[in-house]
Each structure stands twice: as structure tokens, then as C-alpha cells.
A and B are shown apart, each in its own frame.
Chain A
Amino acid sequence: DAGVIQSPRHEVTEMGQEVTLRCKPISGHDYLFWYRQTMMRGLELLIYFNNNVPIDDSGMPEDRFSAKMPNASFSTLKIQPSEPRDSAVYFCASSPAGSGANVLTFGAGSRLTVL
């Protein structure tokens, strides 16, 4: 398996622009997580899905952020409009069901810079 695949790896955009980050989880994994990593706040869970259904979005910072999972092999995290404080590395992770649900496999991350 190719692991969790994220795109783009790097994104530089200007304030006010829409940003879409993409994730392909490991095939057969039932859970998908979006994390954000910054120097100030460390790793924060933004949202997670189970079988394509959002379970907990309490970590989504504000309405500018939205996440979707239209099918088992694809998820997006969208920021509209983007702001400089959104600059961070965004990680997608997936995990299987059952006792392995806590064992996350992470993608390489998408580094977002908002100017």
C-alpha cells in the first residue's frame, strides 16, 4: 500500500484565496483524521470521519474551514477565505476499525503558507 497520500505537499497563497487540501487514506481504513501542526499550538485534531461520516468537528477553528469525505478513498479540507494565521502543516491520517482504530498512519503533510 502506498500509505496515506496528501496533496499538494506545499501551497503558497495570498490572503483571501481559497485553499483545498486533499487526502487519500489507506484502502480499507474506516477512520480519517485531519490534524494541523504549528509551532505555537503543536498538533491539533481538526475533524475526523468514520465511514465517510464526520464524527467530531469540534477542533475546526471557524466557519472558514470545512471538510468533506465524499467516498472512502478521498477527503478534502477547504479554507475559504484563507488568512495568514492559517499557515501551518496540515496532516491527514487514517486508521482501521476495531482495536486498531487508535493506531494512526499519517500522510507526509501539506505545508500551507498564506501571505
Chain B
Amino acid sequence: AQSVTQPDIHITVSEGASLELRCNYSYGATPYLFWYVQSPGQGLQLLLKYFSGDTLVQGIKGFEAEFKRSQSSFNLRKPSVHWSDAAEYFCAVGLNFGNEKLTFGTGTRLTIIP
């Protein structure tokens, strides 16, 4: 079965600083990969997804993620964070087309300091 690991439970960065959130997956083939963001008291919102093709994918709110097959990673990046980016971020993996289940990581809570 596929699995997702987000090694960082909590990250604190200064406003304007760059950000990288780590995500590693375990799956025999190339999975579908996702990043979702959850603001307090809200549901999860899709930031970006990777299905195939270009390994660098752009998402909403200025986020991007890079799929690295050799490292089984799909790290999320943003060059300059804003206070509104404070939230919980979830990496998720799905199997290839035909199986709609997503497995989520445990999440990384992002705190932004002025």
C-alpha cells in the first residue's frame, strides 16, 4: 500500500522568507501527488497536483512543488511567504487512474512570524 511521510510536524519561518515543506512517498509506480492546505476551522483546499509530465508544477497562491522520482519526494516551495500562508499543509498520494483513494500525510503546521 502507498504511504506518505511528512517529517516536519511544525515549521516556523519569518514573513518574506523562503519555504520548503518536505514530503516523501512510498509506492512502486509513479503515483499521483497532491498538496492541500487547511486553514483553521476550514476544510482542505487543493494547492497543486502532479499526474505526469513536467516534474515542476505550479499551484495557487504562489506555491510550487517538484517531483523527484529518485528521492521519492514531492516537496512544496514558496520563494516568499506571507502571513496569510500560516496553516496546516498536507501531502497526499493517490494510485494511478482508476483508484480514487487518497492517502494523506500527517501534515506540517506552518507558523509565520513578523
Contact = CB atoms under 8 A, between A and B. Distances in A.
A44 B40 CA distance: 18
A106 B30 CA distance: 25
A18 interface: no
A107 B34 CA distance: 17
Interface residues of B, number: 22
A43 B100 CA distance: 16
A-side interface size class: 20 to 34
B97 A42 contact: no
Contacts, number: 52
Interface in B29-61: 32, 34, 36, 41-46, 49, 51
A94 to B, nearest CB: 11
A80 interface: no
Interface in B69-89: none
By DSSP majority rule, is chain A's interface helix, strand, loop, or mixed? strand
A106 B44 contact: yes
Nearest to B93: A102
Contacts of B49: 102-103
B43 A48 contact: no
A4 interface: yes
Contacts of B51: 99
A23 B51 CA distance: 28
B90 A43 contact: yes
B4 to A, nearest CB: 10
Interface string A54-76: 01100000000000000000000
A103 B101 contact: no
Interface in A11-59: 31, 33, 42-43, 45, 48, 50, 55-56
Interface of A: 4, 31, 33, 42-43, 45, 48, 50, 55-56, 91, 93, 95, 99, 101-109
Interface of B: 32, 34, 36, 41-46, 49, 51, 90, 94, 97, 100-107
